[in-house]
Amino acid sequence: MGMKSEGDTITCDCGFSFQRGQSGKHECADGLRAKLAAAVRREESLKASVDVLAQRVKDLEAAAIVPGVLRCAKCNYELMKTNLYFNSGTVGPGDSETEPCPNGCGPLWPVNWHAWAITGFAEAEKYHAQLQAAEQRLQQPIKLPDVTTNRHEWSTWQWIEHLGGRYQHGNPGDYIEFGSVMAVGAMLKQFKRTVIAVALTDIKASLRLQGFTVEGA
C-alpha cells in the first residue's frame, strides 16, 4: 500500500483518500486495486471473446466459399479444381488458393456461394429457354419430300426390260445391251429415285413411331 499526500488530503494507491488528522484505516481490496483486477479480468475475457469471434468469422468466410472454384473478375474464366484420392478411388474439391488467370487477365479469385447461385440460376434459365424452343420445334410438323414409287419391288430383269435392255442375240448367256447411253442414264436416275423414296418412307415411319408429326404420305 502506498500513500500520497496533497495538502491535507492523503490518497492511497488503491483510490481511498482521507483528510489529514482523520483515521485512514481501510481495506484496499474494496478500492482501486480490486477494480483494476476486475478490469483486467474483463479485458482478458473480452480478448478471449474477440479471438473466438475472429475464428468464427474465418469459419463463416470459409463456409461462404465454393470449394475448389475460382473465377477471373475480368474475363469470367472459371476453374474447378478437383482432387483424386487414389487410396479410396474417390474425388473431392481442390483448394481455393488464388492463382493467375490463364488468359493473362489477373488473378483467379475464390467464388462465394451467392455468386455461384446467381451464375447457376442464369445458366438454368438459358437451358430452360433452349428446352422450350426445342419443344416448340418438335411440335411443328416435319416436312420431308414426297417421293413415291412402286418400283422398289422390281426385279433386276424388270429394270432392264423397262429401259429396253435385251440379251445380245437373244441368248441369256450373252451380254445385256441397251439401245443408247441415254437409256442407261435414265435407268440409273430412276434407280436413285427409288432408293431415295424407300429411305424416306422408312424415315417417316420411324419418326411417327417416336411421336413426331410428319407431313405427307
pLDDT score, position 15 = 66
List, for the chain, all residue ranges whose pLDDT scores fall below the cut of 50. Answer: none
pLDDT at 170: 74
Centre a 10 Å sphere on the Cβ of residue 195 and count the other Cβ atoms it contains: 13
pLDDT for 149: 61
Whole-number Å distance between alpha carbons of 109 and 41:
42
**Rounded Cα–Cα distance for residues 57 and 50 (Å):** 10
Nearest partner of 105 among 74, 70, 71, 69, judged by Cα: 74
Residues 131 and 42: their CA atoms lie apart, in Å, by 63
Looking at residue 100, what is its pLDDT?
Answer: 92
Burial of 111 (0-12, 13-18, 19+ CB in 10 A): buried
**pLDDT number for residue 29:** 63
Q: What amino acid occupies position 160?
A: I
The answer to whether the Cα torsion of 130, 134, 137, 139 is positive or negative is: negative
**Interatomic CA distance for residues 45 and 37, integer angstroms:** 12
Tens of pLDDT, residues 173-206: 777 777 777 877 877 787 787 777 778 778 878 8
Residue 30 pLDDT:
59
The pTM of the full predicted model, rounded to 2 decimals, is 0.38
pLDDT in tens, 29-53: 656 666 777 778 888 888 888 888 7
